[in-house]
Amino acid sequence: MATFVLRELRLRQYRNFAELELRFPPEGVAIIGENGSGKTNLLEAIGYLEIFRSFRGAPDEQLVRFGADAFHLRGRLGDSGSTREIAAAFESSRGKRKRVTIDGVEPDRIGDALGQLGAIIFSPSDVEIIRGSPAERRRFLDIVLSLNRPGYLVAVQRYRHVLRQRNAALRDPRGYPLEAWNTALVEAGSRIIANRMTWVSEYAAEFAAHYSRISGTALQGLMRYTPGLGRSSVETADPAAIAAAFESELQRVAQRERDRGMTLVGPHRDDLVFEMNNGTGPVDMRSYGSGGQVRTAAIALRLVEAETARTQRRLDPVILLDDVFAELDRPRSERIFELIDAQRPGQVILTAPKESDVMFGHAALPRWHIAHGHVES
């Protein structure tokens, strides 16, 4: 099991930081500061070195500091025997060019550099994964599986490309035959559905266990996957069975797709459903979950993501906690810390508006303070 920790971080012209260089303790740090001081921006910069995009969904050009034309990020990682350097830059004035390097070498594709840090970000915005649109949940699945399942990112990129072409053909009044697009769509889409189905099957019980442990109640939290295959149902993650169902459904809705000018079935219409069950049957958490229940589900989901990294990539991830305990009661917060402790994290970097919000197991993290884009240790 690899245990990389973030040792150094350098920022230039990123968000509200003109220039910043930090050296992190191996156990991590608690960063204290008022809202608007730059706490979340700092964690966003660390997370950027994992997925090379903002975890808040902001486009790269919005990450460039006001008045500048480019940002630069550089992180140095280390374990007991080796070091690694990850760098990323984005220039808004030269065709919106992004450049990523690992130990000074630029990969053939940015996708090849994903997941080098092993960062898991817990954020208040995670409630949108549970309560937001299906697109939010598909985005979560795509990030987790792109980082942890070989070949998944390629399948997603291929599927999106073919989907755009097929939708354009459906809108074309000349009525192009769709067989060639159907073949490619089913091939890539079946791989996506199989991977999503397998992941949910493997981790649904763990999600339920985390939810119950955090909530401290008998209320069950449930996670299940619903493929976007219309009336066709699949009970197995076998890609051949999924492909057959996908092809059958495309034939069934062929005329409706022509009429509407869009592809109506496929993984772009999948959903990841979260439910609660108090013994009388499951109810949709989106509609009936309280604020605390939804936040509990979001944190349980991130704990599952962390366990996925441990299982699939054989690493202890860097845990980034962005003010996640401000709206939770103390007993629930303590149970979350116990769960994170039990997962043997390598490093924890957390933010909070005040010191009384900071605790981590029985060991106090070093305190840093942040204000107006400046950090004092």
Full 3-state SS string of 52-85? CCCCCCCCHHHHECCCCCEEEEEEEEECCCCEEE
Tell me the pLDDT tens digit for each residue of 181-216.
999 999 999 999 999 999 999 999 999 999 999 988
% residues pLDDT > 70 (the chain): 97
Cβ partners under 8 Å of residue 5, min gap 6: 24, 26, 28, 77, 78, 79, 318, 346, 347
Distance CA 3, CA 17 (A): 29
SS3 186: helix
Q: What is the pLDDT of residue 329?
A: 77
Tell me the pLDDT tens digit for each residue of 112-137.
999 999 999 999 999 999 999 999 99
Q: What is the pLDDT of residue 363?
A: 55
Q: What is the pLDDT of residue 362?
A: 45
Identify the CATH number of the domain defined by range 1-118+325-377. 3.40.50.300
Per mean pLDDT, which range of 78-82, 99-103, 181-185, 368-372 is the poorest?
78-82
Q: What is the pLDDT of residue 169?
A: 94
- Delimit the domains of the chain by residue range: 1-118+325-377, 133-314
| CATH 1.20.1050.90 given to domain 133-314 | yes
Distance CA 176, CA 179 (A): 9
> What phi and psi, each to the nearest 5 degrees, are found at residue 142?
-65, -40
Q: What is the pLDDT of residue 204?
A: 97
Q: What is the pLDDT of residue 361?
A: 52
Q: Is the pLDDT of residue 79 over 80?
A: no
Per mean pLDDT, which range of 83-97, 247-261, 315-329 is the poorest?
315-329
Tell me the pLDDT tens digit for each residue of 3-35.
779 999 999 999 999 999 999 999 899 999 998
Tell me the pLDDT tens digit for each residue of 150-187.
999 999 999 999 999 999 999 998 888 899 899 999 99
Tell me the pLDDT tens digit for each residue of 340-369.
777 766 799 999 898 877 765 545 789 999
